[in-house]
């Protein structure tokens, strides 16, 4: 269970950081018109979807990881 939690936290934080930084960069180049606080809120959506995907991953794939990869044959 510890391995799954660490995997889930790593994936969620990475997704949030990438989405947030992407929105901030897009705003700097005038591709969007959102501020930092709105970017932080919007970036939480992909992070939440990562948590849901990880929950499904425990049912489909290896229950010890957040991946959708098939279960190992060990």
Q: pLDDT of 13-65, one tens digit each? A: 999 999 999 988 887 776 667 777 888 888 999 999 999 998 888 888 788 88
How far is the CA of 7 from the CAs of 13, 14, 42, in angstroms? 10, 11, 22
Q: How far apart are CA 42 and CA 61, in angstroms?
A: 29
Residues 23, 42: contact at Cβ < 8 Å?
yes
Q: pLDDT of 3-13, one tens digit each? A: 889 999 999 99
For the chain, give the mean pLDDT. Answer: 85
The whole-model pTM stands at 0.75
CA–chain centroid gap for 44, Å, is 9
Please give the pLDDT value at position 73.
Answer: 62
The ranges assigned to domains in the chain are: 2-58
């Amino acid at each position: 269970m510890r391995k799954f939690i660490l995997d889930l936290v790593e994936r969620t934080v990475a997704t949030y950081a990438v989405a947030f930084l992407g929105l901030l960069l897009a705003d700097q180049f005038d591709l969007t018109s959102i501020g930092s606080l709105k970017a932080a809120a919007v970036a939480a959506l992909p992070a939440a979807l990562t948590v849901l995907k990880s929950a499904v991953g425990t049912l489909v794939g290896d229950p010890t990881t957040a991946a959708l990869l098939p279960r190992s044959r060990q």
